[in-house]
Amino acid sequence: MREATGRSMNRIITIGREFGSGGREVGKRLSEALGIAYYDREIVEEIAKRTQLAEEYVHQIVEHQPKLQYPITIGHTLHAGGSDYLLRQQAAVFAEQATVLREMAEKSDCVIVGRCADYILRESAPLRLFVYADMEARMARCREKAPEAEELTDRQLRRRIREVDRHRARYYTYYTGKTWGARENYDLAINTTSISPKEAAEMLLHLLR
């Protein structure tokens, strides 16, 4: 951790993205070309889990507690409580991930895909990108990327894409109070309907160099 005297001056790039828009690929390509760290949902969740596991472990030893008091991640099956419990747990997971993001952003330059990073890291003045595309283009990209999408009809795939985005929008609004994808929350929004994620990344690299 750095001294608390100054804000991180690292280059932080956050990417919000519609499902199937290739935003994740854009982020990976940017991080590779710039030679900086890359974090997405899976990575952030994994780090948060490990951090919390480690803390729980220390806690157990210190307190001599034989059993964890509550499940560690939202991935686990709940073994207690109602919706209030669930909300508290989700808030705890979000807070843990936010801490991880802030630590990562303090450590080095990085690209972060998703996780409301644009909002969580707002005081580090990240470059906030949003990647999106028309439904047709996103369906085509999904079919290309994921063999399991082959079994879905167009209608099912369209519904699935909308579902994922609805979830993202809700998650974003819940934790930020803002509208996911609304232009005021981003510095640059880029449409990947007619260009590939590779081309989008190349365009962005021109801006960033």
8, 134, 162, 173: which one contacts its own copies (CB under 8 A)? 134
Binding mask 112-131 for its own copies (x = CB under 8 A): -------------x----x-
Task: Indicate whether 179 belongs to the interface with its own copies (CB under 8 A).
Answer: no
**Integer distance in angstroms from the first to the last C-alpha of the chain?**
27
Task: Indicate whether 189 belongs to the interface with its own copies (CB under 8 A).
Answer: yes
Q: Using CB atoms within 10 A of its CB, is residue 156 exposed (0-12), middle (13-18) or buried (19+)?
A: exposed
Task: Indicate whether 109 belongs to the interface with its own copies (CB under 8 A).
Answer: no
Q: How many residues bind its own copies (CB under 8 A)?
A: 17
Give the contacts of 82 (CB within 8 A, at least 6 positions apart).
Answer: none
Task: Indicate whether 190 belongs to the interface with its own copies (CB under 8 A).
Answer: yes
Cα 113 to Cα 19, 71, 136, 164, distances in angstroms: 12, 26, 23, 15
Task: Indicate whether 183 belongs to the interface with its own copies (CB under 8 A).
Answer: yes
Give the contacts of 77 (CB within 8 A, at least 6 positions apart).
Answer: 71
Task: Indicate whether 106 belongs to the interface with its own copies (CB under 8 A).
Answer: no
Give the C-alpha separation, 176 to 128, whole Å. 14
| Helix axes 154-176 and 135-145, enclosed angle (nearest 10) | 100
Contact region for its own copies (CB under 8 A) — 4-12, 42-50, 65-73, 200-208? 200-208
Task: Indicate whether 13 belongs to the interface with its own copies (CB under 8 A).
Answer: no
**In the window 31-90, what residues touch its own copies (CB under 8 A)?**
none
Give the C-alpha separation, 23 to 127, whole Å. 14
> Which residue's CB is nearer to its own copies, number 67 or number 206?
206
> Which residue's CB is nearer to its own copies, number 92 or number 195?
195
Task: Name the nearest CA neighbour of 73 among 40, 105, 57, 51.
Answer: 51
Report the interface residues with its own copies, using CB under 8 A.
Answer: 125, 130, 132, 134, 181, 183-184, 186-191, 194, 203, 206-207
